[in-house]
Amino acid sequence: MATSLQVALLCVAGALLGIAGNRFTPHPAPLGAGVVASAEQPGAVCEDPRASIARISVEEAKPLCIACTATFIDARSAQEYAAGHVTGALHLAPGETVEPLLPTLRSAAMVIVYDRDRECSAANQVAAQIQAQGMRDVRVLTGAWPEWLARGGPGESGACGSCTAGTR
Amino acid sequence: MHGGDAMSRLVLVGLRVGLGVIFLWATVTKVPDMAAFAQDVANYRILSPVLVPYAAAAVVGIEIVTGIALVTGVVARPAALLAAALLVAFTGFVAQALLRGIDLRCGCFGGDERASWWTIGRDLLMLAAAIAVATAGERHPRRNPPLAV
């Protein structure tokens, strides 16, 4: 039998086995129902129940910003930060060094990281960088910058404090 | 048989069985929670949501069949080619997610392992093993046809 035919038969047999056997597994994949990406589920921007970094909602984070009891980190680009950011937020993009911000971060009870997109991938990376420095309470803001704006969270614009002066 | 031939044959058998065991282990970690694996597949944002659960179930089935074929040595060469095709697809999926800045679990062996360039490196190593097993039968068609143990 030609090898290509054997490959095709193996592939089809395996696919049929997997689809037929799915129902006998403890938690089967929902055949017949669509499965969308976690970040595209309604009301689930940046929400991921299995994420390694804890989440915090805009509603929970707003009072902490107003009371200055949390330090906010903006993980977007420097240009986006300059155009507008959470009031008092510091700028730290993925891959940039955390050291200049450490004195401020170490004095904060909580660090809240945000970016702009539904996956919060930049915020996740920056939050992991900060956690690696020994910070215990580091959260990623669900809803990201768009929801912060939409819900009237305090914001300001200006140059990147972390780039110009090290800390705000 | 020359000593060198015996050694290379032994290495190829080791690669084949090792690759098969890895494929079977991957299914063992996925089968307890197929719904979670389907979610991992969806997070790559490549397939239509309707196709995602079917693709997830099919991938696990293909991994089982491929793993068994590689471990037993029955239709080993087609299984190695299928494994190589799967690994090329997996590598492409992970690479596009990383290049698009999507932070996600790779879904490779269950659990919370995040997709990274290390994941791609590991897939490429396995791809090299699969290609070695698949091409071995062609280099030694008479002496080493099915690479059976």
Q: Assess contact for A96 and A75: CB atoms under 8 A.
A: no
In total, chain B counts a number of residues equal to: 149
What angle in degrees, to the nearest 10, is found between the helix axes of A3-21 and B76-99? Answer: 70
Does residue B72 carry a pLDDT above 80? yes
Predicted confidence at residue A28, as pLDDT, reads: 95
Residue spans per domain, chain A: 3-35, 39-164
Does residue B118 carry a pLDDT above 50? yes
Q: Any idea which of A41-45, A119-123, B20-24 has the lowest mean pLDDT?
A: A41-45
Radius of gyration (C-alpha) of chain A in whole angstroms? 22
The fraction of chain B above a pLDDT of 70, given in percent, is 85
Radius of gyration (C-alpha) of chain B in whole angstroms? 16
Enter the DSSP assignment of A86.
E
Does residue A54 carry a pLDDT above 80? yes
Nearest partner of B62 among A146, A17, A104, A74, judged by Cα: A17
Check B34 against A38: CB less than 8 A apart. Answer: no
Could you tell me if B38 lies within 8 Å of chain A, comparing CB atoms? yes
In total, chain A counts a number of residues equal to: 168
Check A22 against B81: CB less than 8 A apart. Answer: no
Mean pLDDT score, B21-26: 96
Does residue A43 carry a pLDDT above 80? no
Predicted confidence at residue A94, as pLDDT, reads: 82
d(CA A137, CA B27): 36
More confident residue, B112 or A71: A71
Mean pLDDT score, B15-25: 97
pLDDT tens digits, B85-105: 999 999 999 998 888 766 677
Mean pLDDT score, B8-18: 93
Mean pLDDT score, B40-49: 89
d(CA B137, CA B116): 33
d(CA A119, CA A53): 13
d(CA B8, CA A7): 25
Q: Which helix (H) or strand (E) holds A90?
A: strand A90-91
Predicted confidence at residue B2, as pLDDT, reads: 61
Does residue B142 carry a pLDDT above 50? no
More confident residue, A48 or B80: B80
Residues of chain B positioned with their CB less than 8 A from the CB of A19: 54, 57-58, 61
Mean pLDDT score, B70-99: 93
d(CA B97, CA B77): 30
One CATH from 1.10.1060.10, 3.30.450.20, 3.40.250.10, 3.90.1300.10 for A39-164: 3.40.250.10
d(CA B44, CA B50): 14
Check B53 against A35: CB less than 8 A apart. Answer: yes
Enter the DSSP assignment of B105.
B
Check A15 against B58: CB less than 8 A apart. Answer: yes
Mean pLDDT score, B12-20: 96
Average pLDDT along chain B: 87
Does residue A163 carry a pLDDT above 50? no
pTM of the full structure? 0.65
Check B61 against A31: CB less than 8 A apart. Answer: no
Neighbours of B53 (CB within 10 A): 27
pLDDT band at B149 (very low <50, low <70, confident <90, very high): very low
More confident residue, A158 or B67: B67
Average pLDDT along chain A: 84
pLDDT band at A49 (very low <50, low <70, confident <90, very high): low
Does residue A51 carry a pLDDT above 70? no
Q: Which amino acid is at A119?
A: E
Residues of chain B positioned with their CB less than 8 A from the CB of A16: 61
pLDDT band at A149 (very low <50, low <70, confident <90, very high): confident
Q: Give the position of tokens 């690994």.
A: B87
A126: distance to nearest CA of chain B, Å? 12
pLDDT band at B124 (very low <50, low <70, confident <90, very high): very high
